[in-house]
Amino acid sequence: MPDWIKSYVRWVEAINYRVGRFTMYLLFVIMGVMLWSMASKVTHLPANWTLETAQFLFVAYYLLGAPYSMQLDTNVRMDLLYGRLNQRTQVMWDILTIFFLIFYIGVMLYGAIDSTVYSFSIGERNPTAWRPPLWPVKLVTCIAFSLLLLQAVAHFFRDVATLRKVSI
Amino acid sequence: MSYDLIAGLMFSSLMLMMLTGQRVFGAIGFVAVVAALWLWGTGGSDLGYSAVMKLMKWNALLTLPMFIFMGYVMSESRLASDLFKMFHVWFGPLPGGLAIGTILLMVLISAMNGLSVAGMAIGSTIALPQLDKHKYDRRMISGVIQAGSSLGILIPPSVVLVLYAMIARQPVGHLWLAGILPGLLMAVIFIIYIAVRCRLNPDLGPPITKEESEQISWAEKISLLRAGLLPVFIFAVILVPFIMGWASLTEASVIGALATVLVAVAKGRFTWRVFEESTRQTLAITCMFMLIILAALSFGAVFDGLGAGKVIEGVFVGELHLEPWQILVLMQLSFLVMGMFLDDTAMLVIVAPLYVTLVDQLGYSLIWYGVLYTITCQIAYLTPPFGYNLFLMRAMAPKDYTLPMIYRSVVPFVLMMLVTLIIVMVFPQLALWLPGLVYS
């Protein structure tokens, strides 16, 4: 395997690992925001920014964490037929079917960029009391889907390497 | 090409894509975006992404990571092991007593957590080794843990009912209360089954020996009962503020998660390892669920755009000339069959919107239907080839729990769930009485 593929896989995995390890702590930021929301109700000055902030954070949480979850291999598969194949055939199958996944993520990324550009150009805001601009959260989704796409391609290379008995 | 044909084609390609064994979210998402591009050209290219923004406004989904986190803290810090010890001591001397204790443990876990994953993790790390040690029948063990943990989605708090509430636009509080009695009924049916089977054939669940039970003094037995306070405490901190309207649903789930952490800290079991493991697993499981929901939502949007709801309604009401109750039975049957092959969240997001409008038009209560739907989901967790609890069981249990054995072990429990489903269908008051009482 060419060296650039090896270093691509290593780089992508290292970046996504770090992004994922950072993202997993956003859970506690969300908790903090919700706690603030409760506290503000007690003082009879309910904060109007908490719910939307929590929503934005949650989008960042599960999308930025997605490539790391692929590394951890927690995304379920239906293994009625797949589970009965031997490991080598599974890898060969994956090399073919990962293109479905790559296509899906590609369309999602296209939609994300489209939506972000539009959002930025018209200065779109959430139609609520707080009226936050929407482009920052959409930009985060663009980054997340890009990382997910890179991760899926890295999986493809890894499978090819396994098949050719090369270690990366 | 007619729209019903396209809808049929989409559904069959979905099944085919799932069979390839690619990640479920990829399979669903691929069919969704390809169908959208094919039907609406470049105008369909944003359909997949618009699901992200739609999902963002479903606030109740924020409870998902909280319940997952709470479940992992509970199982990783072994908080639940005191609970199991309590049941062990009090029920162990009966034939099948430890299995009955496991079901009761699962009921308590279910009252603290809204997912079945937590029960599976706790059941396989805490109950399974003990049951194995006491020479319980393996099929009994595997069935009890899988069926018991599925109660997590019926007994409040329940994440499945939260998702259903968003789709059917029904109040979560009513749905949660509606799940209590059917959940307890199902647990009682499980317990009767275990007691009868083990009385007839004590080899399935031998009682613990006299020497072992006499080792524990009465004072100790009484003090073990204190472990039962934990679930009461957690159940109360989640449900009371929510039902009383002091905290929103998501806020209540945050309180629950923090209360669990607090208990673990107080018992000196909240180590760095527990913290790291729970945080990492929460991210992984949340991503898994959310990616599936995201893909299913795009699929559902295309399906809806095709007017699939009208097609189904046309078939049930127009062409077959069925009575309302027959339609209801048919819907449940189709859910059961789909549940064997589809992920239950995907099923909810894709099919439920179509069915919910129909149920409403037929004049049935959507609260009651939510309970029926949830029981169907429980069955879906246990029916091969695609069942979450089957996957989890194989992943978490020792290697000598083979897949065919795990499949066979759930048969009696699936039958009992069907019995519960029929009872709740015949007596809707089982679900509707409690919410009526509290919210009257």
The mean pLDDT value of chain A amounts to 93
Pair of tokens at residue B309: 């709801």
> Is pLDDT at B26 greater than 80 in this prediction?
yes
Instruction: State which amino acid sits at residue B352.
Output: A
Taking CA–CA distances from A72, the nearest residue in chain B reads B284
pLDDT of residue B419: 97
What mean pLDDT comes out for the span B312-341?
82
Point out the residue among A27, A69, A100 whose CB comes nearest to the CB of B288: A69
* Per-residue H/E/C for chain B: CCHHHHHHHHHHHHHHHHHCCCEHHHHHHHHHHHHHHHHHHHHHHHHHHHHHHHHHCCHHHHHHHHHHHHHHHHHHCCCHHHHHHHHHHHHCCCCCHHHHHHHHHHHHHHHHCCCHHHHHHHHHHHHHHHHHHCCCCHHHHHHHHHHHHHHHHCCCCCHHHHHHHHHHCCCHHHHHHHHHHHHHHHHHHHHHHHHHHHHHCHHHCCCCCHHHHHCCCHHHHHHHHHHHHHHHHHHHHHHHHHHHCCCCHHHHHHHHHHHHHHHHHHCCCCCHHHHHHHHHHHHHHHHHHHHHHHHHHHHHHHHHHCCHHHHHHHHHHHHCCCCHHHHHHHHHHHHHHHHHHCCHHHHHHHHHHHHHHHHHHCCCCHHHHHHHHHHHHHHHHHCCCCCHHHHHHHHHCCCCCCHHHHHHHCHHHHHHHHHHHHHHHHCCHHHHHHHHHHCC
Q: Which residue of B has its CA nearest to A67?
A: B287
The pLDDT tens digits of the residues spanning B359-401 come to 998 899 999 999 999 999 999 999 987 788 888 888 788 888 8
Please tell me the predicted confidence (pLDDT) of residue B97: 93
Q: Structure pTM?
A: 0.91
Q: Which of residues 6-65 of B touch A (CB under 8 A)?
A: 17-27, 29-30, 32-34, 37, 45-50, 52-53, 55-57, 59, 61-62, 65
Assign B78 a pLDDT band (cuts: 50, 70, 90): confident
Percent of chain B whose pLDDT exceeds 70: 100
CB contact under 8 Å between B21 and A93, yes or no, is yes
Determine, for residues A104 and B284 on separate chains, whether the beta-carbon distance falls below 8 Å.
no
User: Running DSSP on this structure, what letter comes out for residue A6?
Assistant: H
**In this predicted structure, what is the pLDDT of residue B258?**
96
What integer is the mean pLDDT of A22-33?
97
Find the CB nearest B284 among A59, A74, A108. Answer: A74
What does the pLDDT look like over B185-242, one tens digit per residue?
999 999 999 999 999 998 999 988 877 777 878 888 888 888 888 889 999 999 898 8
Using an 8 Å Cβ cutoff, are B103 and B190 in contact?
Answer: yes
- Taking an 8 Å cut-off on Cβ atoms, the answer to whether B21 and A77 are in contact is yes
A100 vs B30, B56, B391: nearest CB:
B30
Containing structural domain, residue A80? 3-164
Phi, psi of A4 (to 5 degrees): -65, -30
Partner-chain residue, chosen from B19, B69, B290, that has the shortest CB–CB distance to A62: B290
Using a CB–CB cutoff of 8 Å, tell me whether A24 touches chain B: yes
Q: A46 to chain B: nearest residue by CA?
A: B247
Domain layout of chain B by residue ranges: 58-438
Find, in chain B, the residue whose alpha carbon is nearest to that of A94: B22
Give the pLDDT confidence score for residue A93 in this predicted structure.
93
Cβ B403 vs Cβ B387: under 8 Å: no
Q: Is B440 exposed, middle or buried (0-12, 13-18, 19+ CB in 10 A)?
A: exposed
A40 touches chain B (CB under 8 A): no
State how far the Cα of B117 lies from the Cα of B149, in Å rounded to an integer. Answer: 7
pLDDT tens sequence across B233-273: 999 999 898 888 888 889 999 999 999 999 999 999 999 99
Q: What's the total number of domains in chain A?
A: 1
Q: Which helix (H) or strand (E) holds A68?
A: helix A66-71
Predicted confidence at residue A155, as pLDDT, reads 96
Tell me the pLDDT band of A152, cut-offs 50, 70 and 90: very high
Locate the chain B residue with the closest alpha carbon to A104.
B30
Q: Say how many residues make up chain B.
A: 440
Average pLDDT over residues B20-34: 93
**B413 in Cβ contact with B143 (< 8 Å):** yes
Give the A:B interface size as CB pairs under 8 Å: 179
State residue B25's pLDDT score: 93
How far is A120 from chain B, CA to nearest CA, in Å?
Answer: 15
Q: Is A88 on the interface with B (CB under 8 A)?
A: no
Give residue A63's pLDDT: 98
pLDDT of residue A44: 78
Q: What count of other Cβ atoms lies within 10 Å of the Cβ of residue B79?
A: 24
* Burial label, B121 (beta-carbon count in 10 A; 0-12, 13-18, 19+): buried
Q: Which of B334, B319, B277, B247 is nearest to B75 (CA)?
A: B277
Residues of A in contact with B394 (CB under 8 A): none
> What tens digit of pLDDT does each residue of A68-125 get?
999 998 888 877 788 788 999 999 999 999 999 999 999 999 999 999 999 999 999 9
Q: Which residue has the higher pLDDT, A67 or B362?
A: A67
Residues in chain A with CB shorter than 8 Å from the CB of B50 are 111, 115
Q: What angle do CA A95, A99, A103 make, to 5 degrees?
A: 165
Q: What percent of chain A has pLDDT over 90?
A: 79
Q: CB contact, 8 Å: A110 with chain B?
A: yes
